[in-house]
């Protein structure tokens, strides 16, 4: 069983719409959850972190966590062409002092 699973995509969303990205994880003791954005050939860039059940909003981004279902999601509102990238779900057992386990990423394409 993969530790962090994501749909590889590509997910195509029209500009201005909501993009919804999903992730499941297998390690029940995971405590920290992250969404990174990665442009082709570049390094992962942290866009959201979430540590407790529920929603966390930051600008156009909302992260949702459900530990009972072992499910994390990211919503991007008012999608822009610059949001086109691969989105990596990542999970850590304790604080970020622990290793981060990445999913394979979902490719998101925003069409004008």
**Which residues of this chain interact with another protein, rule CB under 8 A?**
32, 34, 36, 42-46, 49, 51, 88, 90, 95-105
The minimum distance between CB 51 and another protein, in angstroms, equals 5
CB of 72 within 8 A of CB of 64? yes
CA atoms within 13 A on the CB side of 38: 19
Residue 67 CB, shortest distance to another protein, in Å, is 15
Nearest CB to another protein, comparing residues 4 and 79: 4
Q: How far is the CB of 92 from another protein (least distance, A)?
A: 8
Q: Indicate the DSSP class of residue 18.
A: -
Q: What share of the chain is helix, strand, coil (3-state, %, to 5)?
A: 5, 55, 45
Of 13 and 88, CB closest to another protein: 88
CB of 34 or CB of 79, closer to another protein:
34
Q: How far is the CB of 23 from another protein (least distance, A)?
A: 12
Measured distance CA(35)–CA(44) in Å, rounded: 9
Q: Which is nearer to another protein, 15 or 27 (CB)?
A: 27
Q: How many Å apart are CA 98 and CA 85, to the nearest integer?
A: 26
């Amino acid at each position: 069983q993969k530790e962090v699973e994501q749909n590889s995509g590509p997910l195509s969303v029209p500009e201005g719409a909501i993009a919804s990205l999903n992730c499941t994880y297998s390690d029940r003791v995971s405590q920290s959850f992250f969404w990174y954005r990665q442009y082709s050939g570049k390094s992962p860039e942290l866009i959201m972190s979430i540590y407790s059940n529920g929603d966390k909003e930051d600008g156009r981004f909302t992260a949702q966590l459900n530990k009972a279902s072992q499910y994390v999601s990211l919503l991007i509102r008012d999608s822009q062409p610059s949001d086109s990238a691969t989105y990596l779900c990542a999970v850590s057992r304790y604080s970020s002092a622990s290793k981060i386990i990445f999913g394979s990423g979902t490719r998101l394409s925003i069409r004008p």
